Amino acid sequence: MIPSKIYYRTFPRTDQPDYDTEVTPEFMKEHFTDFFGGWLQRDDNAGIFTFDEILLKFYGNPTDFKLQIYAVSDASHIENPEKEWFNNHLRFLAIVTPSRKQPFDDWTLFIVGSKYLKEPDGFLQVASWDNNTGINEFRFYEKVNVQPAVGEATKDNYGWTYNGRSSDAFNPSTEYLGPFNGHVNGSVIMKEIRKPWYHWKSGLTADFDACLSTEERKWFSAENAPYLTESSIFSRVTEGSTLEPIIDTGLSKWYGQRVKNAFQIKNKPHTNPVPIKRWMAHILLTTTINIATSTEDPNDHGNTWFIPDNHFLNAELLDRAQMNLVPETPPRSTLTFSQENYDKARAELQMKLMQEYYPEETPSIPGYYTFKTNFGTLGGGKQTGMHSHIDFVAVKDGEGFPFAVLQPSIEDAQATVNLTMVVTYPKKIALLSEHVLNSLLFLDFWNPVYSWRRGVLMDYVPETTTYDETTKTYDFEDVFLRNIRNSSFAKDSSSPEAQLINLIDNYDLVRMQARIKKYLVDVQKRLKTPEGVLDYMKLAECRRRIYRPLPLDEFGYTLPYALNYQVTGLIEMGEDATIQNVPVRGSTWMDNWIKTLWGYDPILIPVSTSASRSTATEATAMNLAPQCPAAQTKGRRANVGSKAAGCPFARTRGVASSTFSGSVQSFICTNPTWDDQISKLFSAPYWLEEPERSKVGQSWIRAMKHWGVDLDLEKYDDVKQKATSIYRHMISRSMPLTDDPNHYFPDDAIETYRLWVNQGCRKSLHDITVPGDVIPVPEESKVALRIRKDLRNLTPQELQTYRAQLDDVLGTGRLHSKWQELGLLHAEWCLHYQEATFPWHRAYLRYVEELIDCPIPYWNGFAVDTSDPESPYAGLPKEFLEETYIHPDGTTRPNPMKYALSLNGQSKAGGEFTTRYKVLEDGPSSPDWVGKINLFKKYHEQVKAAMEKPTFSVPMSYNSPFGLPWANLPAFTDDQADDLYPLRELNFDGAFEQPHDNYHGWVGPDMADNAYTGFDPVFLSMHANLDRLFEVYIRAHPEQTYTANFPLRPFTTLGSTIDYSESREFMYATIGDMTKSTQALGYMYAPPAAADFLDLRTMRQQIQKTACPMGYKAQPGSPEVKTPYVLFTDVKCTKESYQIDVFTPKAASLSPDPVENPYFIGRLTLLAMGPEEVVNGKQCAKDRCGAPQQRTVRILEANCVRDALENAGEKELIQVVTDLQTGEVVAESQWRQWPGFVGKLMWGTKRM
C-alpha cells in the first residue's frame, strides 16, 4: 500500500510555486532505494513530522543505531536579549548510522531540524546517503506543507516529499533548484568547515548557550529533549569540530562517484563525458563557499589574531592539489594582525551583526538601530523567499570573530583534485596536464573567490570532450586552449586569456613560487598597518555582498554587515597586495553571472560573453543587452534571473525583488551624505569613465544654472530645497538633457539619492539621520522580455528546446503545417526595397516567436571571425548542419534546423528539404571554401557602410503609387552588384538591402529564391541578426522620422498576430510600431559571442564623425577618375536562378574569390521568383517580377581590376554561368543566347 503522505516535489523554473505529486509504486521502486526511503514506507513512519519524533526512533537504541547531534546558531555570538523579536536561528543536525559504523561506511542519515522540536511547522530535512545501488549518492527528503499544482485543490496537510538525488544537481532541469540551491554540487555541506567553526557549538564558542532564551532552555531540558541534554544544557551535543572529517569523507566518496559517473563506463573511459563545464566550474568559478574567521594567537591573547590565509589565496585547493605551487616560506601562520588595527577598521566600517526585522510586527525596537538595506541582502529564489527583505536591526557591534571572510570551498578543491585522475584504467588519465592546471590555479591566485579573470575562461570550455583510443587521452585540453588562443582577447596582453597563454607557454614553477612568496610577504607587511587591515576588511565586505543574493545566504546573522561601506563598485585584490577597482569587463561579467544564480531560474554556468570586446560596455552604451535593475526600482530593465514558463531561456521579468548583486549593490550607499556621495553624483558621476567624469559633471552644473531656475547643483541648500523634483527628473530620465545614454543616472545612483532624501538630506556623517518617507519606493513595473541570444551562446538545453519548438509547434517536417504557412506568408506578403522592409521583417520574427513562445537565436554573420576561412565559426553554423537532436521527451529526432520541408515538400534544388550550397555542407574540404568565406569581408564592409548612413530611408511616398518599392530585384546572388541599389549612397535602407540580399544568395539555393527562402530555418536566425543591427541603427538615430502609419499587412497586435482578411487599415501593425525599442515589443538582444566587425558601442560617435549628409555630392573641382564597369542590359525575370561570375580577359584563375583572385571582377545573380502557380485550374504568374515587358540594367563596378582591364584592350571578358538549382556550369553557347546574360566592358568617369 502506498502511504498517502509521500510525494515527490517538482521545482518549476518560473515564479510558479513548487508543487507536490503523490508517488506511485513504480516511482518508489525506482527512487526509494536508500535506507530512509525504505524507512518511510514502514509502519507509520510517513506520518512523523517533527524533529523530536524522528530522533526518538533512533535515540536510545545503540544496538542498531549510532546517533550524533550537532547544534548551530547564526546568532551564537549574541547574548539573548529576551525580546520576542529576537531569533537566534538555532537548528540541529543529527547524523545516524548503523551501530559500529562510521558515517559513509554504510547508509548514513543527515537530519536537519529547527529549534521547534515538537512542532510540525518546524522545518525538517533529510539527506540520505544511498549505497545500496552501487552508485553512492545522497537522496534528499523534506517534510512540507503539501503544495498542489496550479489549478489543483489545496491539499492542506503535512507530508514527506522526495526532492531528488545528488546527480540531479547536474541535470539542466533541476540544477540549482530545490535542495540544490544549497547542495549545489550534490553533496552535504557545512558552511563553517574549518576552525573556529564560526556558528557551531564547539570548544571555541563557549558562550554558545547564551543565545538561548529562558523559554528555549526549557524546550531543550533533559526532560523534553533527552537526546540533547543530560546533566547540563546541550551536554549530549557533539563538538562541531568533529564534523570536519565526516564532511571530508562524504565529499571524497561522492566526488569519486561523480568522476566514475562522468568519465567511466564499466571501468573504461567514457568516449564523450558530460557535463565538462560543471567540472571546470570548480576551477574557474566559485560554485559555493565556506565561511572562515580569524583565530586568536594563544601566545598573545587579546592582542594578535591569525587571519584565514584563504582570504588571500586558495590554500584549500593548493594544499590539496599537491602541485608544489605554494612555497614553504614565508609560513602562512605569520599572517597576523593586531586587535588595535582591527578595532579601528571595524569602527570605521561600522561592522554589525544584524537580524531581519519586521516593522509591521514590531514598529520600534528601543535601544537598537534599525535600518534599510538593498534587495538581495539575503538570498534569492523560492527556497528562502527573503530576497526582497530590506529591514534589519543591528543587534551587536563587530563580527563575532574578527574577519569573517568567504573562502574557497572544500567542494571545489575536492573536485579539482579529482580532475587530476579521471580514469585509472587502462592507465591514469587526467583532464588537464600538470603545467596547464598549475597555470590555471596561478592565474589571479590573489583573488581566491569570485575571480572574474578565471570566470571569463568558462566561455572557452567545450560542452564535452572526446577520448582518443589511440593516445589514451582526452582532447579537452587541446580544444580548450585552442579556443582561448583563437579568441579576440588573446592578443591583448592585459586580458586573462593572454595572461594564461603566457603562463602556459613560458611555464616556470620556480618563478610562480617566487611570485607567490613575494605576494605573501607584501600581505604580511600591509597587515601590520591600519590601512592594510581596513583595505582587507573592505575586500571581505565586497565579497560578502557578491555572495549575499545567493540562495544559501538565509539569515541576517550569517555574515556581518558594514553600515559605512564607502566603496564605489566592485573591488579586488592585486598581486601587489593592494585592493583595486574591478575593471568594466570584470564587473559586467560578475553582475551577469551572479544575477543568473538567485532568481526563479538559476543557472550556475555563466552565459558566454568574453569572446567579444564589445560585451563589457555594450549594455550600457546601447541599452540592448539585458540589464538587471537595481534595488527598489521600477524594474525598468530586464532581470535575467527570473524567467517565465515555456522555453528555459524564453523570458526575463522585472520584479520588485530585483538586485544588482555585484557592482551595483556596491554602488548603493545605504547611509549617504552630501559631502561624501551626493555632491559627487553631480560633479563627478562615477558611472562614467574617469577622464570624462569631471568634464561632464561641470557641463551639467553650468546647464542647470542657466536653465534650471537658479538651481546650482554644487550648492547643498539648492539641491536640498528641490530634492524631490530632482529625483523625479532623474528617474524619468529627463535629467540630464543628453543624447548619450551613458550619461543618465543609473538605478543605483538614483536609489542612493532617494535614501539620502528619506534620511533627512544629511550633509555630513556628523549629522543625525531623520528617517522619513519623502520619496516612496517606486512602484514595480513588470515587464516580460524574450532574450534573443547569439546562436553560439545557447546552452545545449536552450538549443534543443528551440529545435523542439520548431519541430512540435511549427511542424518543420510536415506538409500542411504552420511552417508551410509561414514560408508562404513571407513569399507572398514580404516588403522589400522600401522604408517598410526591415520593420516588416521585424513583425514577421515577432509573430514566429509568439507562435513558438521561444526567442529566435541570431546567427551573427557580422562577427569578425566569420570572414576568416581558418576560423571554426566560418561558414554556416553547425547547428544548421547537425543531423539529429535529442527532443525533451528523450527521443532522437531529425534536426529541424537542417531537415525543414521546403515549399510543398519540393526544394529549389530538388528533394524534400530546404537546400544550401554544397560548399557550406563540405566545409573547409571544399576547393571553393576560401573564396566563399572571403565574401564575408565584403559583406562586413557593406553593413558598416549602411550603419554609417545619417538617414534611414526614403519615405513610403518616394514612389507612386504610395508604397511602390524603389527597386525590384528578381534574384539574389552572393555578390550583388552595386548598381542594383540606387539609394545605397543615400541612406541606411538603400545600403543595408545589399548585404541582406548577399547573405541570402550566399546560403542558397533556396535562400536565394524569394519563393523558397522563408522555408529555411537559417532565414529566421539570419534575419534576427539583421534586426539586431537594425535596432542598433534606429536607437543611435533618435532624430529619424518614419512613415509611421504605413500598415505592415497582414500583421496585427504589434506583430503578434496576423489577419489576412482585415480591410480596416488602422488595425494593422505599422512602421511606427516596429521602430519602437525592442523592449517595447517584448524582446531584447543579448551580447554577441564574438566581436562585431564594427564597434556598435560607439555608433553615434562614428556616425557623427564620418557620415555625409543626405544628398551629398562630390565637390566641384574634385578630380575625375577613369573607371571601368561591366554592363548587363535587357535583364529580365528568370524562372531559374543563375550565378554569373565575371573575370578579366586571359584570367589565370577562375576562382570567384574577391580577396585572393586578382582577376575576379564580381558576381551577378539572377534570382528566380519561383514556378508559376495554378489558381482555379489556370497557370498564373506570380506578381513578383513586375510587368512581363519590364527590363533592367545591371552594373558591376570593376575598378578593383582597372589596371588589368586597361592592359587587356578590347578583348572580351570571361564569364562563368552556373545554374544554381543543379550546380552545373551552363555552356557558353547556351547562355550567350539568353537576354541579359552577356556583360560588356564600359569605361566612365567617377568624381572623387
HEC states along 819-835?
HHHHHHHHHHHCCCCCC
- What residues pair up with 73 in beta bridges, in sequence order? 90
Instruction: Sort 36 into a burial class: Cβ within 10 Å, 0-12 / 13-18 / 19+.
Output: buried
Contact 1147, 1214 (CB under 8 A): yes
- Given 3-state DSSP classes, what are the helix, strand and coil percentages for the chain, each rounded to the nearest 5? 35, 15, 50
Q: What is the pLDDT of residues 967-1022, one digit of tens each?
A: 666 556 777 777 777 777 777 888 888 898 889 999 989 998 888 999 999 999 99
Average of per-residue pLDDT values in the chain: 83
927: pLDDT confidence band, cut at 50, 70 and 90? very high
Q: How many Å apart are CA 1225 and CA 424, to the nearest integer?
A: 57
Query: What is the structure's pLDDT at 950?
Result: 81
Query: What is the structure's pLDDT at 753?
Result: 92
Q: What is the pLDDT of residues 448-501, one digit of tens each?
A: 999 999 999 999 999 889 999 888 899 999 999 999 999 888 989 999 999 999
Read off the C-alpha cell for 611. Answer: 569572446
Look at the alpha carbons of 1019, 1024, 1027, 1029 in this order and tell me if their dihedral is positive or negative. negative
If one compares 584 and 559, the residue with the highest pLDDT of the two is 559
* DSSP helix/strand/coil, 702: helix
Superfamily of domain 1120-1247: Haemocyanin C-terminal domain (2.60.310.10)
Segment (H or E) for 352: strand 351-356
Query: What is the structure's pLDDT at 315?
Result: 87
If one compares 1198 and 184, the residue with the highest pLDDT of the two is 184
Q: What is the pLDDT of residues 731-774, one digit of tens each?
A: 888 888 775 667 888 888 898 899 899 889 999 877 777 777 78
615: pLDDT confidence band, cut at 50, 70 and 90? very low
- What residues pair up with 407 in beta bridges, in sequence order? 290
Contact 205, 71 (CB under 8 A): no
Supply angle C-alpha 235, 238, 241, rounded to 5. Answer: 135
Q: Say which residue the cell 530546404 belongs to.
A: 914
Query: What is the structure's pLDDT at 637?
Result: 26
Beta strands 6-10; 158-165: pairing state: parallel
Query: What is the structure's pLDDT at 967?
Result: 62
DSSP 847: H
612: pLDDT confidence band, cut at 50, 70 and 90? very low
First vs last C-alpha separation in the chain: 91
Q: What is the pLDDT of residues 797-837, one digit of tens each?
A: 899 999 999 999 999 999 999 999 999 999 888 887 788 89
DSSP 582: P
Query: What is the structure's pLDDT at 704?
Result: 81
Provide the whole-model pTM: 0.56
Query: What is the structure's pLDDT at 1189?
Result: 44
1130: pLDDT confidence band, cut at 50, 70 and 90? confident
- C-alpha distance from residue 636 to each of 639, 752, 756 (Å): 9, 17, 21
600: pLDDT confidence band, cut at 50, 70 and 90? confident
1177: pLDDT confidence band, cut at 50, 70 and 90? very low
Identify the weakest region by mean pLDDT among 322-331, 373-382, 447-456, 1187-1196: 1187-1196
Query: What is the structure's pLDDT at 206?
Result: 59
708: pLDDT confidence band, cut at 50, 70 and 90? low
Query: What is the structure's pLDDT at 154?
Result: 67
Segment (H or E) for 681: helix 679-683
DSSP 1107: P
1072: pLDDT confidence band, cut at 50, 70 and 90? very high
* DSSP helix/strand/coil, 1162: strand
Instruction: Sort 967 into a burial class: Cβ within 10 Å, 0-12 / 13-18 / 19+.
Output: middle
781: pLDDT confidence band, cut at 50, 70 and 90? low
Identify the weakest region by mean pLDDT among 723-727, 763-767, 871-875, 1169-1173: 1169-1173
Q: Does position 650 have pLDDT exceeding 70, yes or no?
A: no
Read off the C-alpha cell for 483. Answer: 579556443
Q: How many Å apart are CA 1238 and CA 718, to the nearest integer?
A: 77
C-alpha closest to that of 563 among 294, 388, 377, 386: 377
Q: What is the pLDDT of residues 850-873, one digit of tens each?
A: 999 999 999 999 999 999 999 989
Look at the alpha carbons of 725, 730, 733, 735 in this order and tell me if their dihedral is positive or negative. positive
* DSSP helix/strand/coil, 132: coil
If one compares 958 and 306, the residue with the highest pLDDT of the two is 306
Mean per-residue pLDDT, 699-723 = 83
Domain positions in the chain? 6-258, 276-653, 671-782, 788-1106, 1120-1247
What are the E-state strand segments in 11-118?
19-22, 65-73, 90-98, 108-114
Amino acid at 1133: C
- C-alpha distance from residue 891 to each of 802, 878, 894, 1017, 1189 (Å): 15, 21, 10, 21, 54
Query: What is the structure's pLDDT at 1026?
Result: 95
Cα-trace Rg, the chain: 34
Segment (H or E) for 796: helix 796-805
- What residues pair up with 1127 in beta bridges, in sequence order? 1195, 1240
Contact 196, 180 (CB under 8 A): no
Q: Does position 1085 have pLDDT exceeding 60, yes or no?
A: yes
Instruction: Sort 503 into a burial class: Cβ within 10 Å, 0-12 / 13-18 / 19+.
Output: buried
Contact 638, 1077 (CB under 8 A): no
Q: Does position 1173 have pLDDT exceeding 90, yes or no?
A: no
Contact 549, 380 (CB under 8 A): yes
Query: What is the structure's pLDDT at 979?
Result: 73
If one compares 1156 and 945, the residue with the highest pLDDT of the two is 945
Query: What is the structure's pLDDT at 823?
Result: 93
Q: How many Å apart are CA 784 and CA 1083, to the nearest integer?
A: 8
Q: Does position 440 have pLDDT exceeding 70, yes or no?
A: yes
Query: What is the structure's pLDDT at 343?
Result: 96
Contact 264, 160 (CB under 8 A): no
Q: Does position 71 have pLDDT exceeding 80, yes or no?
A: yes
- Mean pLDDT comparison of 399-403, 595-599, 879-883, highest-scoring range: 879-883
Contact 1123, 1243 (CB under 8 A): yes
Q: What is the pLDDT of residues 303-343, one digit of tens each?
A: 999 999 999 999 888 776 556 677 765 666 679 999 999 99
Mean per-residue pLDDT, 1193-1199 = 78
Q: Which class would CATH give 788-1106?
A: mainly alpha
Query: What is the structure's pLDDT at 447?
Result: 97
667: pLDDT confidence band, cut at 50, 70 and 90? low
1163: pLDDT confidence band, cut at 50, 70 and 90? confident
Q: What percent of the chain has pLDDT over 90?
A: 48
Spacing of C-alpha 32 from chain mean position:
36
Mean per-residue pLDDT, 926-938 = 93
* DSSP helix/strand/coil, 25: helix
